[in-house]
Every structure is written in C-alpha cells, then in structure tokens.
Chains A and B, each alone.
Chain A
C-alpha cells in the first residue's frame, strides 16, 4: 500500500490545532478583552446635545422684551478631520484661511475625540450653503443654537446678556460644558436657573462617514430638553421707554416702583446701549468699545452709583426725629445753624414748623433737627445718638443691599460709628462735626434704586416690599425671593401725615411746582446734591397719589443743576404717563428730551479731583 494512512492524522491535527488557536484568540478578543467594545462605541456613538429654548421675557402688560433667534455653530471633531479642502471650507465660512489651523489647534486642545465649536454663530444663509457641501468635510457638523434678540432697544441693563460659560464656571459648576451659554448680567444672570431650562441629550449612531443612522438603543439613554421658563417682568415697557427718552443725552437714572408691591415699573440708567449689541459674534468687539467709552454705558447707575441724597434725605431725618420724639410737627428752630465760624443759612421765609421746612427745604431746620437728635440726652452720648440714628436710616434700606433681584447691587454708604472714630478720634466728634448728614450731604451714598425705595416706605407709611423686577416665572408668581414680606422701618405710621403734607406742599406751592399735573395729590421733594467734580446733581423723589399711592419715583440727573429744573419735570412726566397713560405737557416733554446735559471734555486737572 502506498497510502500512508497515518499521515491523515497529521493533517487533521494541524486543522484542529489551527481551529483551536483561532477559537482561543476569538474567546480572548470577544469575551475577555473590553477594549474593543469601547472602541466600537467610540466609532459609532455620538452624544448630541439638544439645547433647550431659553425662556422669553415679557413686560407687565405682556409685551415681548426678549426672544430667541436661531443661529448655527460649526462643530468639529478633530480626530475625524481628514484631508479636506481647507481653502474651500474657509471660503464657505468666510474666514481667512490662516485661521483654520488656529481654530483646529484650539479644538484639539479641548479634545481630539469630542466635538467642540469651530466657528460660532454662522448665519442662516451661510448655513444653507455649507450644509449642502458638508459631506465633503469629514469631522465637521452644524449645531443649531439660539441667540437672544430684543425687539425694543430698551432696558439693556435690567435684561442683561448671556455669554459662553468660561473655564472657571465650567470647573466650579458641573452643569455647564464648553460652549454653553450662561447669563452674565442682569436678570439673565439672576434668573439663570429659571431661564436656561434643562439640556437634552441624544445618543445616536453614526456610520463611518459620520452620517446619523438613528438613535442608539431606541433612545433608552436620551433625555428630552426642557425649555426654560418665560419670565414676566415688573417693568412697564412704555414707561421704561419714556424714561430712557427723557434721559437721552444725559447722565443719570430714573427708578419707578409700585409702593404696594415693590414691583419696579421702570429702571432707567443712562447712557445705555442697545441690548442687541451684546449678542452674537460682534459681542466682544462691542463690549470692548463700550468699556472704553468715558460715559460708561455699561455701568448700571440705578443700582450701582452712589449719590449724596441731598435735600430728599430731609424727609428721612424728619421721620426719624418724629419717631424718637426729638421734634413734633409743630417744632420750630432758629433761622440759622451756626457751628463755630461756619453757619448754614436759608433764604428768607417766615418762621416755620416741619411742613414748612419740608416745603421750603430749609437747611438750618434739618441741621438743627439732626443735632438735636444726635446730641439728645435721651441717648446718653453723641455716639449712642448717632448709633440710633443710623439704625433708623438702615431700616429704610440705605447703607445695605435692599435685595433687588438683579446682580451687582451696591449697598451705598452710611458711615458706622467706627468710621468717625477713626476719622476724628474716639469721643472727639459730635453732631456739629457731622451735621451735613442732616441735609443729605457729607458721607452719604445712596443709589437711585434706594432713593425710590425710601419713597415707597414713606408712601406706605412705614414699610416697603423688596424692590424686584420679575413677578412671574413660567406663569406663576415669583417666589424665589422674600418678596411678599413687609420690610418694616422703625417709624410708626402716625408720624407720616405731616411729612406727606409737607411733600404735597412742595408740589403745590414749593420747589417742585413744575411737577404738578391734573388733579392728583402728588407728594414730592426736590434735591440738589453738591458735587465736588462739577455742576450739582439734580434730584427729585415723589409718589402719587397721596392716598393709595400707585407709583413712587426717584430721578437723578448728573451735573444738571437744581432739582426743580430737570429731575422734577422728568419725575412728573413719568408719574403722569403711568397714572393717566398720556402726556399733557408736550412742550415740557420736548424740552426734557431735546436737552443735552452731558458735560464736555473736562480739563485734566479737574478730572484728578480732590479725592472727596
């Protein structure tokens, strides 16, 4: 026999050995090793973020203030980018070709396998052209996003703006990821959590060309985005527009609040800017430009600028003195106030009691009242007297944050005892040293919002509600802050009657006669705050009507002169507009609107100031 039957076992042995080795290898890569499963997921799965629509913002009458507009971000996954025609790609996007590498380096720095933004916010037109050719540019895709838009160029500071979350935020708050937008200023910031909604995530499968091939595991790992809540703000669009019109070409602020609720009806600060400038690709350029503007359009004077309250502060002094029994409505003082060689005088008028002192804004009366208060034996010492005085003042919401629902509110300035101890030495100062506080000058700093809030407390006869700008969130009352609770001053309601009477006389027959309109009982007080840097600031505070007040307003016009000339007419027009929905004095309106009170360039010497 020439066949070698034994040889078949060698062949079968080899076949068996090879099969066995292969099966071992397969068992290893399929069952033991996990690496390939991860690689398979990296190949196929893409996590796509569905951004929720940010909440819209309406005014108190339902007029739209902020909406969303779709834009498109070009995203890149650096690892998938292969041999593309970068020149054509850059032309499509309208960017210089040399930027391509820079952007790629940035994206790679973030992650080679995760998508990041290559080019932000391309227009719908660019997107349409790009989309058709996107298949040629492996590794790139487009994600639609929304931008904030503002139908009216109004109330930029209150509305605020959004911007991309920075590295610091991403590290400190796990919700935010690179490329997310977050509120940076205004109510966009303070109501960020309510506005932003909840991101959704879709896990999809893609093929080798990065084309979507449907959802993974029938969407078991997907979450649906939840839109942000719409906000209804307390602002009255028309009133706000009027306020911004009145203050155009002026530096200053108008704040109007509904005393019975603390709702801010208008929050005007000028100079301002078009909120649409803080949107989209031009945002950083516009931002830089505005930062350099000497009139500081980004600065929210209504909540962040301190002014000496001037004569308007006499109202507070009167109330505190009444409460502590230092004066009665019928108290009179000598017609001058003398401290050493200095004396404070008033224009000639008959001897007057409290109402008259308010009506004529009598400086000696309130200096005397202040001195009587602080140096009163009742408190034992000037220091104790001042302490008590300051306690009263703080209860009116000055010298501390009132708690408005806008970011970066400043607390203003009411010096503590320690401040004067340090300045003059302990026990070496008394009322006569700091008497100017009695007429709202000296070391006092009050924001326009605080001024308006004081008037609310006066109008309400002793309490105020925390001023706020958002009243409804997603159709439900705003309960995020302690808004419904009365904030009590330390003055009892019975002491307000004579102050109201004096304030009404200011308008009927005093420094603010120009503020009178219709048959309304209007209570007001002008102020002229001395300003070491230039012309006096013009001030006016008021509420109307005297019974059941509907609106309290504070107006501050920088370097405009005395209160009755500018601030009072503006405050009057604001109240008239709100109460009657009309303006009966067009010539007054025109004079206000058409005046330019922005000081020209100052000599350098004056800019340095004297540091007061």
Chain B
C-alpha cells in the first residue's frame, strides 16, 4: 500500500495533464482525418484511430512502468541505453526495411519499429549523464568534443538511413549545451550560418560573395587597421565565402532530387502545385480554409477526402487547422509552448544536474519537433517528415515521446530526495 502510494507521489500533474490533453486531441483528430464511414467506430482496430487507441493504452502502461522503476535506474541506465540504441541503428541499416525512401524501420510481423525515435531519448539521457559528471566544464575543449560526439554519432547514423527529419532533431541539443555553458557565440554563429545557408540557396553564389567582399572592405575601412583585426576579418570572410560555395556544392551534388525540390518549393523557386509543391499547397489549403472557428469536428473536407497526404501522421496539424480553425491552432501551439515552459520550470527547480540537463534535452527535442512539423504544414519550412509529438499517428513515435516525458516525470518526482 505504501509502495503504491509512492508511485504517484510528487508527480507533476500539470505536465501529465498537458500530455493527456495532447494525446486525446491527437487521437480525436486522427479519427476525423482518416474517418471511414464503413468503420465509423473510433475503436475499430482496422483503422488508424483504433490502432492509435491501442498505442495510447500501451503508452499508459509504459508510463506506469517507468514510474514504478527506481529513479536511480535511469541515471545508471543512460550509457547502456545509448549504446543499445546505437546498436539498433546499426542493425536497422543492415536489416531494416525501406519505407518511403528511408531505411529506418524494423519489421517484425505486422509490427514496425523505428529505432531513431528512441535514440533521441537515449541521447538526451547520455548527454545528461556525461554533462552531470563532477568537474565537467563546458568551456573545456575535451568536454565540447565528447558532448559533440555523443550527439553527432547517432545523428550521422540516422542520416545514413536517409531519415533527414529525425537527424535534424539532434540539432536541438545545441540548446542543452548552451544552457550548460556553451558560449553564446556558438548560437550567434549558428544563426548567421543558417542565414547564409538560406541566402546562398536563394541568391546566386557570386552575388553573395561579392556582397560579403563589400562588407569586408567597408569593415576594414571602418576599424582600426591593425594586422590582427584585418586578418580576423579576412578569415571570417574566407570562411563565409567557403560556406557559400560548399552549400552550393552540397545543394547541387549531395542532396537528393526530392530534397532539392522541397527546398525550392519553400523558397518559391518551384511552383509545381501538382508535383513537388502539392503537399504544401494542399496542407495550406486545408489549414487556410479553416477560418477563425474552423469547419467543425468531422466536417473537414480537405483532410478527410485525402487531398492532404499523410494526414494522420506528419500532417495531423492540418486537421486541427481545418476543423478547429485558428482557435484550435492557438490551443495546440499554446499547449505545446506551455508544456515546454513547464519543462524548463521543472528543470530549473532541480538540485540534480542530471535531471536538469535531461529536462532541457526533452524540452529541446519537443521544441524542434514542434517547429519543424508545424513549420512544414504552414509552408514556412521545407517538407521534412517528422511527427508532431503525442498527436501524430504511430506507435514508435508515441511510445518514444511517452518514455521521454515520463522519465522526466519520474526523475522530477524524486527532486526532494536528491542531495547536492
């Protein structure tokens, strides 16, 4: 009886309620998105909504299981879990099944598993474990290198599976590193690099380099012309120009045609609404036709009648936008934002470095998913196939996010017992 009581003791019910709300909203929207009048019961196991209920219930079982296990287990389990997922990633490269161009699925009977989903959680654990080691300082080069390796190895392996979306999520860990003391210059340089990246896709590379050279000349004229200053500026210019050239090379020689198309669609260079631009256009039509209050639950037409592709998985937000309108969009984005706020608040109240760093990892991963997924559906980012956490249809995704979140809930519930 005491044991039973202690499982739910000190649990952050606000966070859990947000989780439950998002899962429920997701399930209801999946029902509407792929509604099939021949199987109109929301419990029909032959349809995505019936299956999703199964995933939801098993997720609850997983959540309780996670809450039952001693919290110290997770810290101890961090590295083994990380190594295990790396092994799985390796295995999927060899044994995996190719779905929609990505070799990232295990298939056991009718059951499919995507190791990349779980790798995010394991990486967050491993990074937290490493950075919470006593006497680690983010300013040490060694720390930076090890932390970089922990993030980049799984990211690279996922890239090899051709799953760009999942790999992109690992960029989120830069926020964790920043919180733990990485210089803000890294963020700023990262921002400008991203800006330069986008510009070099949009404008001819020689024009950009010419502009950069202009800025270089003006800067040299403006500053005190010591040898060191000029040299620094020239190095920065060379790096920037080099990046522009390599982006150009990367875009034309490395990217797959469909990836190039998606980027071109986003940049407005390609407007083929039947081909590469179809998804984004239909997604915009679905969301845009929702209006302020939406068309009403189950009254959406664009998603239900299959105009939007992948409407129960990556494009589930279209159903929200179409049927619940701006009000629904506000609610969902608001819920996610509040959830991230809540996780950061939880992180900052921890005495345990491990829990705090892990919480930042969770917040960063959720944020990255939210930004990339919704950005894609409203035409602000290229089409990158990653799920909307807790809402998109899919077992691997829901399980992985549930585990990710409930490990945090468990760790947080032990914050009182942690000694500094």
Contacts and interface: CB of A to CB of B under 8 A. Distances in A.
Contacts of B39: none
Given A15-B340, A30-B288, A44-B302, 4 more contacts: A15-B367, A19-B337, A36-B288, A40-B289
B291 A208 contact: no
The 10 closest A-B pairs by CB, nearest first: A36-B288, A40-B289, A207-B305, A29-B288, A208-B306, A44-B301, A30-B326, A39-B285, A19-B337, A26-B329
- Chain A contact patch, size range: 35 or more
A422 B180 CA distance: 116
Contacts, number: 128
B58 to A, nearest CB: 30
A29 B284 contact: yes
A88 B210 CA distance: 57
Contacts of A224: none
Contacts of B370: 18
B363 A11 contact: yes
B325 interface: yes
Contacts of B321: 26, 30
Contacts of B285: 36, 39-40, 43
Interface stretch (A2-10, A97-105, A510-518): A2-10
A44 B370 CA distance: 29
Interface stretch (B162-170, B251-259, B374-382, B408-416): B374-382
A144 interface: no
A2 B304 CA distance: 52
26 contacts: A3-B180, A3-B353, A8-B179, A8-B344, A11-B179, A12-B340, A12-B344, A18-B367, A18-B371, A23-B333, A26-B321, A27-B326, A30-B288, A30-B292, A35-B288, A36-B284, A36-B285, A36-B287, A39-B281, A39-B289, A40-B288, A205-B305, A206-B305, A207-B307, A209-B306, A213-B305
Interface string B257-300: 00000000000000000100000011011111111100000000
A308 to B, nearest CB: 71
A16 interface: yes
A37 interface: yes
- Chain B contact patch, size range: 35 or more
Give the interface SS of chain A, mostly helix, strand, loop or mixed: helix
A246 B304 CA distance: 68
Given A22-B333, A27-B326, A31-B292, A10 B187 contact: yes
B348 interface: yes
B302 A43 contact: yes
Contacts of A35: 288
Interface of B: 137-138, 175, 178-181, 184, 187, 274, 281-282, 284-292, 301-302, 304-307, 321, 325-326, 329-330, 333-334, 336-337, 340-341, 344, 347-348, 353, 356, 360, 363-364, 367, 370-371, 374-375, 378, 380
Contacts of A206: 305
Interface string A28-48: 011101011101110110000
Contacts of A8: 179, 344, 347-348
B365 to A, nearest CB: 12
A5 B301 contact: no
Contacts of A10: 178, 184, 187
Nearest to B378: A25
A343 B184 CA distance: 130
Interface in A273-319: none
B414 to A, nearest CB: 19
B37 to A, nearest CB: 9
B341 A25 contact: no
Contacts of B282: 43
Contacts of B325: 30
Given A8-B179, A10-B184, A12-B341, A23 B305 contact: no
B64 to A, nearest CB: 29
Nearest to B135: A2
Nearest to B334: A19
A245 B304 CA distance: 65
B144 to A, nearest CB: 14
A600 to B, nearest CB: 66
Contacts of A209: 306
Pick from A8, A16, A31 the residue with the most CB of B within 10 Å. Answer: A8
B383 to A, nearest CB: 16
B137 A30 contact: no
A40 B299 CA distance: 13
Nearest to A44: B301
Nearest to A210: B305
B380 A208 contact: no
Contacts of B288: 29-30, 33, 35-37, 39-40
Interface string A186-223: 00000000000000000001111100010000000000
Contact of B178 (A11, A12, A16, A19): A11
B289 A37 contact: yes
Nearest to A211: B305
A2 B344 contact: no
Nearest to B336: A19
B286 A40 contact: yes
A81 to B, nearest CB: 11
Nearest to B356: A3
Contacts of B291: 30-31, 37
B378 A29 contact: yes
Given A4-B179, A40-B302, A11 B337 contact: no
Given A33-B288, A36-B285, A209-B306, A11 B175 contact: yes
B368 to A, nearest CB: 10
A213 to B, nearest CB: 6
A429 B414 CA distance: 131
Contacts of B306: 207-209
Given A7-B178, A26-B326, A19 B333 contact: yes
Contacts of B274: 82
Contacts of B330: 23, 26
A33 B379 CA distance: 14
Contacts of B364: 11
Contacts of A3: 179-181, 353, 356
A30 B290 contact: yes
Nearest to B290: A30
Contacts of A15: 337, 340-341, 363, 367
A421 to B, nearest CB: 75
A29 B281 CA distance: 12
Contacts of B380: 21-22, 25
A15 B334 CA distance: 11
B332 to A, nearest CB: 10
A31 B326 contact: yes
Contacts of B333: 19, 22-23, 26
